[in-house]
Amino acid sequence: MTQVSRYPLSKDIEKRVFEIFLDAVAGVQTSEEVNIFIEDLLSPTERVMLSKRLSIAFLLNKGYEQRLICQILRVSLGTVNKVNSSLKAKGEGYTRVIEKIKGKEKLEDFWGKVDEFLNDILPPKGQNWKALRINNEIDKRKRRKAF
């Protein structure tokens, strides 16, 4: 678990530090910028911890059972309960992010299905159809999400 300094900050300094942090987070716009910023800001352990928390909230939102989430993400039931309690009590931040992720996935799924449909009915002329279908099947498997 990450450690917090035992030397407390004054309220003014703590508020200013948090403002700087929020401005920094709000300032990153592209996925590449976010990735670079997160890698610089967080240790590998912190990245895994935060990623798992968000994944727990995502799976809970999708209706997965808590024990199954424990098995999938290799987390304790206490961790899942903690995230679940946070979702129920004050989970507006989680909910907003999860809805954006789900919306993006729905859009990607839609265009993936359109692409699959067009490839199935309109293969390019002069191609080896068998190889094309095998490649399409491989592409489908690559696009499939773990959960």
The mean pLDDT value for 43-70 works out to 92
Is pLDDT above 80 for 130? no
- CA dist 72 and 5 (Å) reads 33
Look at residue 103 and tell me if it is in a domain: yes
The total number of residues written for the chain in this structure: 147
Evaluate if residue 2 carries a pLDDT over 70: no
* Spatial contact of 53 and 83, defined as CB atoms under 8 Å apart: yes
Domain membership of residue 60 (yes or no) is yes
pLDDT tens-digit readout, 76-102: 999 999 999 999 998 788 889 988 888
Residue by residue, DSSP assigns 9-48 as PPHHHHHHHHHHHHHHHHH--SHHHHHHHHHHHS-HHHHH
Query: Are 147 and 72 a contacting pair, CB within 8 Å?
Result: yes
Across the range 110-135, mean pLDDT stands at: 71
- Residue 48 domain-assigned? yes
Q: What is the pTM of this model?
A: 0.69
Percentage with pLDDT > 70 across the chain? 90
Instruction: Provide the pLDDT for residue 121.
Output: 66
Q: pLDDT class for 120, splitting at 50, 70, 90?
A: low
Domain contains 16: no
Q: Which of 12-16, 18-22, 113-117 has the lowest mean pLDDT?
A: 113-117
Within a domain: 115: yes
Query: Closest Cα partner for 48 from 73, 26, 72?
Result: 73
Q: What is the pLDDT of residue 1?
A: 54
Domain that holds residue 125: 42-143
Report the domain count for the chain: 1
Asked whether residue 77 is domain-assigned, the answer is yes
Q: Which amino acid is at 2?
A: T
What span, in angstroms and rounded, lies between the C-alpha atoms of 136 and 118?
11
Span 23-32, pLDDT tens digits: 999 999 898 9
Which amino acid is located at 118 in the chain?
L
Residue ranges in 74-126 assigned as alpha helix (H): 77-90, 92-121
Q: Is 14 part of a structural domain of the chain?
A: no
Whether residue 18 is contained in a domain is answered as no
